[in-house]
Structure 1
């Protein structure tokens, strides 16, 4: 669970979807910089295998946290922060099945409802344009504190060798305390706190914007990210 020192807060984070590229990469970054992670999956054995892969990369890293795997419900029970890093297909049903366990916890959604056609990636329209995956999670699990963050961070970079990624993490939510958790965790990815981007409804902008980055990546053969200028970090 959460431990606080004079300089930082050490979180225990359950990563639901922790066996996928985004979840595994974010879990690795959190653990590399001192947080404990529990990778969650529908099958505990699959989560344990990926956690072993993460743990192997943490060997010799000074101050690293721990990594282990568990079934989704058990991962949530062991943590006080939950990261949703699952595909949008089946998202609502999964959150509903875990809602009781999510009660009272900070839940960070990095789910991007995207679709692809002959013209490339694009954002899906959620609730006739008046919703987002993060807002859906908040509606389905009303006793959780849901924030949105890490939408626009590319999985290949997360699993890369660089200590920090040269980009910013934008955090949205209706709870200042919940946003602060994600802002703190962002430092494990970028080396600096996340950027408070406003209310949860602005996830409607962040989620589909990932399609723009995908298009840039395809055009320039890179892994692009977002930098916010004019801030004094």
Structure 2
């Protein structure tokens, strides 16, 4: 996700710093992104620019926040993490707070949940499209400034931001991701299970 989204933002003219615990890995990822991307450590990435994207496996969130949580206080953080338990495709957070809420509570950051409903391959498309239409990206957050910054980054991808509510609604997006991933695993196109909000209705007379 960091490589896919970072490459799109670099192409749009944004400066990007890729941070990782392994600096060689960060350097490799930055080289893959190309001009406009720099490598660094986790704390450097957490403090760089105006927005930080947290793109790590759910199992590594606590460890990463333990290293950079103090740096993130008051910053805009995009959370694209899905805490999914396999098999069964259930939420690792259970009925508790969402991943996004836990990140916000642990760091004091202005967290925006976004980019968690599609795999990285979708974000590598230039621009991302679904059936020829711009991809819609739902966002959840509490801070107006953070939401505005993330909407700009979404628009710069050629996508359309959609308000999905405050941060307490982030759990709905995470549950939606589990639903979509479960359908993919079952070999079902999730779009086939999401009818148009204005379906055609046909009438019939009893024989």
Q: Fold conserved (TM > 0.5)? A: yes
**Against the structure 1 CA distance between its residues 171 and 228, is the aligned structure 2 distance closer, same or farther, given a 3 Å change threshold?**
farther
Contact 2:137-2:161 at 8 Å conserved across structures: yes
Q: Distance in 2 between matches of 1:45 and 1:179?
A: 32
1:219: Cα distance to partner?
4.1
1:163: Cα distance to partner?
2.3
1:103: Cα distance to partner?
2.1
Q: 1:89 and 2:59 equivalent?
A: yes
> Which ranges of structure 1 fall in alignment gaps of 5 or more residues?
1-21, 59-65
Structure 1-normalised TM-score? 0.74
Range that drifts further, 79-88 or 213-222: 213-222
Q: 1:156 and 2:121 equivalent?
A: yes
Structure 2-normalised TM-score? 0.83
**Against the structure 1 CA distance between its residues 53 and 122, is the aligned structure 2 distance closer, same or farther, given a 3 Å change threshold?**
same
Q: Which residue of 2 aligns with 1:168?
A: 136
RMSD of aligned alpha carbons: 2.5
Q: Distance in 1 between matches of 2:152 and 2:75?
A: 16
Question: What pairs with 1:108-187 in structure 2 (closer than 5 Å)?
Answer: 108-117=78-87, 120-126=88-94, 129-142=95-108, 144-160=109-125, 162-166=126-130, 167-187=135-155
Contact 1:171-1:196 at 8 Å conserved across structures: yes
Q: Which residue of 1 aligns with 2:39?
A: 69
Q: Distance in 1 between matches of 2:111 and 2:137?
A: 16
Contact 1:172-1:200 at 8 Å conserved across structures: yes
> Which ranges of structure 2 fall in alignment gaps of 5 or more residues?
199-207
Q: 1:213 and 2:192 equivalent?
A: no
Report the structure number with the largest CA radius of gyration: 2
Q: 1:53 and 2:32 equivalent?
A: yes
Q: Distance in 2 between matches of 1:228 and 1:202?
A: 22
Contact 2:93-2:99 at 8 Å conserved across structures: no
Q: 1:194 and 2:123 equivalent?
A: no
Q: Which residue of 2 aligns with 1:11?
A: none
**Against the structure 1 CA distance between its residues 157 and 104, is the aligned structure 2 distance closer, same or farther, given a 3 Å change threshold?**
same
Residue-pair matches, total: 193
Contact 1:164-1:188 at 8 Å conserved across structures: no
Contact 1:96-1:141 at 8 Å conserved across structures: no
Q: Which residue of 2 aligns with 1:35?
A: 14
